[in-house]
Chains A and B, each alone.
Chain A
């Protein structure tokens, strides 16, 4: 296997500033997404994901400028997600320099949007972001459902069926977040990851729950993920990207070192 598994740091941004806290010891401005992206890229990040959580329209203008600045200085793939609802939103982000866009809620409300987006811009730039939560009771066979609104609203959609359907509609990659694990630092939901990864042909990015370097390894080895996404373990300087890649390589995973 020559293709390397990927490590993707994720920046959550509000009005052009990184939120969720980024605490590098020697960084001038801990909230500047351009500076942080550059740092991660220099450290060997394989891609950058930028999630825009800005609510206001004016704020979104700022986001476009931020994406332009990152794309002008960081020469690795850049995915932009958050509030992507129309073909025009996608065009705006691609023109600003994003390589891929992540579609989440808009796909749940209108699955055809994914089909239209893939047909217009190509599957290679359409990432389907899905937030899944376990709904089976203990003792039952595993079942996960798609949730929206940060895991607060159930949709009744089975996660595996949803993944298959979105790939059939043209999604080129899946960004899979376990809402049970997000923010817990207890590791990815490996059963969920494996169930989805083994059901579809496209690459899977595992997200939600990373607390240690071993979690990243488990995501790939046990969860069959093609890429692992993490925010806080890198933002707070607990581990560097270099350490993570080195550790994964030592565990026998093919990495770009």
Chain B
């Protein structure tokens, strides 16, 4: 039995990711939990997250999830999704500045690259004003081979919904890039960690393939 723990810290919809995982593998047992023992007993771990990062980080620290995640990535594969990916970074601009887990070097920034009427705006290179949040299906260019990209065509569209994006320190590796006003890391890879800004559980074929690949991945790359 392939045991997968989905880390639950009370933020958002974990049903979707659990259902998608169950759909992907036959001998998969999915547990949604915040309990250290349960999470550490799993073969692989999903670190999801939605909503405001200040609230997420507060709950992560209150429940001791920070220590659990740090321990998990020493020994088993971990897939970070959306705010789960952002939480791995050093800090976020959201909510006036929030310290994150610092497991991957880099920052989380607001989608903006210009000003209009004194307000930050996101502009495409042709001057078109873009909507924020970045919501919908966008192209992910794979920037390195990785077991989690197996069977997924380069340039496949995945479903995104976020207003903040990560910028990686040059010492870290993006696994996939997406363009929305700016180029940003839609996926990163670091040892046992693979993290994505998009929602694989909502990205139909490509997303389900990525989750299937995660279920077969034993970490490192």
Majority DSSP secondary structure for residues of B touching A: mixed
> How many positions in chain B have a CB within 8 Å of any CB in the partner chain?
39
Chain A contacts for B128, CB-based, 8 A: 1
A119-134 CB contacts (< 8 Å) to partner B: 119, 121-125
A77 CB–B CB distance under 8 Å: yes
On whether A76 and B159 interact (CB within 8 A), knowing A98-B13, A121-B51, the answer reads yes
B19 and chain A: residue at smallest CB distance: A72
Q: A121-B51, A124-B162 are in contact. Are A97 and B19 (CB under 8 A)?
A: yes
Query: Is the C-beta of B191 less than 8 angstroms from some C-beta in chain A?
Result: no
Binds A, one of B39-47, B67-75, B99-107, B134-142: B134-142
Which residues of chain B come closer than 8 Å to A6, judged between CB atoms?
136-137
Q: A3-B138, A4-B137 are in contact. Are A94 and B203 (CB under 8 A)?
A: no
The answer to whether A203 and B202 touch across the interface, beta carbons within 8 angstroms, is: no
Q: Are A95 and B13 in contact (CB under 8 A)?
A: yes
Total number of A residues with any Cβ neighbor in B under 8 Å: 36
| Residue A19 CB within 8 A of the other chain | no
What residues of chain B lie closer than 8 Å to A1, measured between beta carbons?
124, 128
Of all chain B residues, the one with the shortest Cβ separation from A77 is B202
Q: Are B133 and A95 in contact (CB under 8 A)?
A: no
- Taking a contact as CB atoms under 8 Å apart, the answer to whether B207 and A75 are in contact is yes
A201–B134 CA distance with the chains assembled, in angstroms: 10
| Given A121-B12, A256-B137, 18 further pairs, Cβ under 8 A | A2-B178, A41-B204, A46-B136, A68-B15, A77-B159, A77-B199, A94-B12, A95-B15, A96-B15, A97-B15, A99-B16, A119-B52, A122-B12, A122-B50, A122-B52, A124-B50, A203-B133, A203-B136
Interchain residue pairs with CB less than 8 A apart (6): A2-B138, A3-B138, A4-B157, A76-B202, A76-B204, A226-B136
B contact set with A: CB distance below 8 Å: 11-13, 15-16, 19-20, 23, 50-52, 121, 124, 128, 130-139, 157, 159, 161-163, 178-180, 199, 201-204, 207-208
